[in-house]
A and B are shown apart, each in its own frame.
Chain A
Amino acid sequence: MFGYYLDLALHSLKRNKALTALMVLAIALGIGASMTTLTVLHVLSGDPLPGRSGTLYYPQVDPRDNGGLLPGKEPPEQLTYIDGLNLLHAKRADRQALMTGGAVPIQPDSAALDPFYVEARYTTADFFPMFGTRFRYGQGWNAADDEAKAREVVINSELNERLFGGANSVGRTLRIGDTTFRIAGVLDDWAPSPHFYDLNTGSYGYAEQVFMPLLTALDLHMDHNGSTDCWGNGAGGAGHIYPAASCVWMQFWVQLDTPAKAADYKEFLIHYSEQQKALGRFVKAPNVRLRNVMQWLSYEMVVPDDVRLQTGLAFGFLLVCLVNTVGLMLAKFLRGAGELGVRRALGASKRALFAQLLVESGVVGLVGGIGGLLLALLGLWVVRHRPSDYAALAHLDPTMLFTTFLLAVGASLLAGLLPAWRACQIAPALQLKSN
């Protein structure tokens, strides 16, 4: 039966080429626009560390006094250096890393290269195993190196390419400022997107080229990059090298393998806050948060406003296209009312006619879907050539490919429902008589 309906549908579509083309075009444009924006949205709200993000948590405590500039009931988005060290040394999680961002001057050995700055991350050792960074050569440093303020660094593959032509540089030396470091490891292409562990440096398309033990970096007065929020007498400024004790500027991540451990850790944070209050460091009642990666990203609303606006706009456009298709399909089906009357008179049930008309709209949807897919590919190509920091991420993956067709066929079937129902209401006798 389906084959016969398909045959009828193709026949009927061929008869009104202009109308069919118009419907296909409307569906294709609507699908193309909405799939382009939806893909961008999908990519940008994706999981930066699939498989791991569920067990990674971002503890927040509230060390502020009651005055100050930082508003709201939410605790600050970062930690003070003291709280960071305390939580790090408490070692209450399966893994934990304290970190902040910076920039370091690389002094290449080769005279052909001028000194240049690269983005850096100052962190403690667990960063690498906790985030599951992939290494091309060597490995990270260990906790003992952290305490010893070892002169060791991990560099990424881009810097390795620039300085050593991509060769295995583990064990070689690297001059940063006035200090000589030993390269402990070279990362493979590893740049989680969004840059979840520190959103202050930009959410997308950001990758540090040098990773340095935190205490080493602070000891050597390396430049700090990122957000600093202060309260009380905290305004540090250029006279001091690093922000004062009443400033938050550190990120702290922990790995907690089970939900029970996460609950325990939250208890620990409350306990810690109470203890600090008893010591007089904290003023407020315990105000703690423990969000995992995805919760953190949604709390921080990392997806750019423009992207959400574009998606909304594209779906508005799809809606206009659909209403348009409903109208055109209605015209098309009613124009073929004579034929439908004949089929009814020859014994076809209303249901059979309905099914036949839906097959017809399904065909329009499928062709429109293919057109929409091509338009979406074109749209994504355009997005990739735009100067935004997420441009390079805009690719169609199999999920989105499947969604495109589902959306296209579903949308045009939906658009076909009303006209098909209306066309089935025709009294066969009337149609036969008038002709």
Chain B
Amino acid sequence: MSNQVKISISRETSTCYHCGEECKDDILHFGEKDFCCNGCKLVYEVLSENDLCNYYEIADKPGLSQKSVSGRDNRFDYLDDVDIIRKLVDFQNEEETHITFSVPLIHCASCIWLLENLHKLHSGIISGRVEFIKKKVQVKYLHDKISLKELVRLLSRIGYEPTINLADADKKTVEVTDKKLIYKLAVAGFCFGNMMLFSLPEYFAEAELLGEGFKKTFNYLNVMLSLPIFFYAATDYYRSAWLSIRNKAVNMDVPIAIGIVTLFTYSLFDIFILGNEGYMDTMGGLLFFLLIGKYYQQKTYDTLSFDRDYKSYFPVAVTKLVRDEEEVIPLIKLGVGDIIKVRNEELIPADSILLEGEAFIDYSFVTGEEVPVAKRKGELIYAGGRQKGKALTLTVQKSPSQGYLTDLWNNDSFEKEKVNSLESLANRISGKFTFTVLAIALGALLFWGFSGQLSMGILAFTSVLIITCPCALAMSTPFTLGNTLRVFGQGKFFLKNSHVIEKLSQVDTVVFDKTGTLTSTSEASVSYFGEPLSAESKSIIKSLVNQSTHALSNRVNTWLGGVKAIKLDEVEEISGKGLRTIYKSQEIRLGSADFVGAGTKGLPEGGNLVFFAVEGMMLGYFFIQSGLRKGIETVVSDIKEKFPVHFLSGDQDHERVNLVKVFGNRILMSFNQSPGDKLVYIKNLNQAGVHTLMIGDGLNDAGALRESQVGIALTDKITNFSPASDAIMDAGVIQKLPAFLDFAKTSRKIIKASFGLSFTYNIVGVYFAVQGLVSPVFCAILMPVSSISVVVFTTLTTNYLAYRKGIKDKIW
């Protein structure tokens, strides 16, 4: 019943049955349901024919509007190419093919249901399986019955068009590395748990009643259980310690490895030669806690990708013109001199010269500037822009990977892994720590040796090494960083890994990109000059801009606010030029200077102009400047107090005056920076010995983000495309940037404090160890107590301080 009520309500307000959007223009009826556009109706038709209408019952209005979907038939033709198919599929045999698509539109339970019932739509499809968080669907199909092209077309027909970009066709990356840690953790946990049970006789005196035979068996069982720990779970520590020693350094894993080896060998000696109980349970616990720490530190964000380059943005295929015949070819086969066609909303795949058509290129992904740039015939158009308007014919000047923008990725900086020039806090301490411990141990050995008790000396020596095994010390860093990572994540500041925190705490120079980072398209400032607008003119302008999706129209629309629109008979939008209508038999134009026939002499620069003209008479114009992001002034002035701040901009320097007015003159500004210039700028800063933080948003900042010590990509919507970086920040929390920087330093202090805590334990332990008073039970208690108290301390302080500093709203 409730279902029917819902439908009748939706009929009154007339929202689309498929996507739930209001049906504005004309309502399409089909089977008693209303649809906002043909696309939505088609999806419904396909689904109802195949008895899949349950789709509409799982979630309310599950579809997404199909209005803007391109209906061009041959756009998937490149999927016939054997090379491309081979690169895209996961698996293929004589009958079956498995392929994983990335479908960004997946957003609700209905999506999952429909995509997992694909086999009802076509007999060639075996199954579909959705990974909701990653927004992926794996489809298994019989390639004799349905081709890849038909499959993709089918998906797009039901409203779930997969995004297939150059990165998909480039290589398949398989992640297996982080699973190993979980296996090791499981083994260590299993062995440790059982070892504790078998160590009961040593923990409780009452267990002596069991008799000697049991004790021996238990000890041997412990040895057996320690083997997987020693030879499997601990292998990472040996490797890392060995690498570090070979590089003539001592990292945290060196004392750990020494501790593990001593624990193991001495326990073997203790059990088999001396017939005692050994320290195997301590070793098990040590590894188990260490691996938990390691695992905790590895917080990953599945929905985010930190290493996207231009390839995840560029299309796989382009339309090439061969003797006026259109042919869709893979982008990798595109060569210099080819003639290509680029349609509305398509990307310019390579630096090319415009041969035909009117180009209005939207470079928002590249520079952050949303207003399209007009280009004339014969002008060079850089790759990466999106055409807004009619189809273009271009001739390719450079191969896609060698362009003005894409050449950035051929720079050395992208070749090498980002090296961590800084030694982490833990590693710096561990060097001194290891030598001190070894000195104390040797001292104890020599002391007892000279007083004639060599066996006591050996016992003291090993006890020192065992008791100081830096479990608590090694836990401090991963748990503090792991907690900080989570705190930042809750604050919508997502870090690639925990090393970024330590790098962030060292930052002493901050570089901002201007367009899209300091400025925001949604914060545009609009001012009107000319003859005052009457209420009627305002209404006309309002109804004009209502009809257009152009960035400037939207800004004028926001400026007008709640002005009531009046009904206009016909509004014509001339793409890239402006809007035109007839009102009370007068021609009204709103748009660019040549469109209304106005001169631009003496008019303000540094922004966009939109002219308003009636019957060819220019009455006034809107001056639209991209406004500064909310709160950015305080962010910059906060940071300016502590570090030098630089601005980089790809634009002309006519906005310098404005920027100086807002941010003061202590900021170093550079204009006219190409993507490569930005990279070099950061490189020079690095060579001058400063630690740079780069904040950018577009593909043109990718080089600078890569080269800087820490690169933060700012994005308005977290799931949107963002260039490769160390961290992704939601643009809404940019005000908190100084707090985040500050907190990175705080987390360093927390690590230091917890080091102090674990040193206290070590001193107590060493005091007993040098006297040879350490027993296995003592070890088995001290080790977990110290580790757990360190974990509790770091977790509590991190969360509490984050709350105090306003990064978190609640303590928990």
Partners in one complex: no
The chain A residues found within 8 Å of chain B, CB to CB, are none
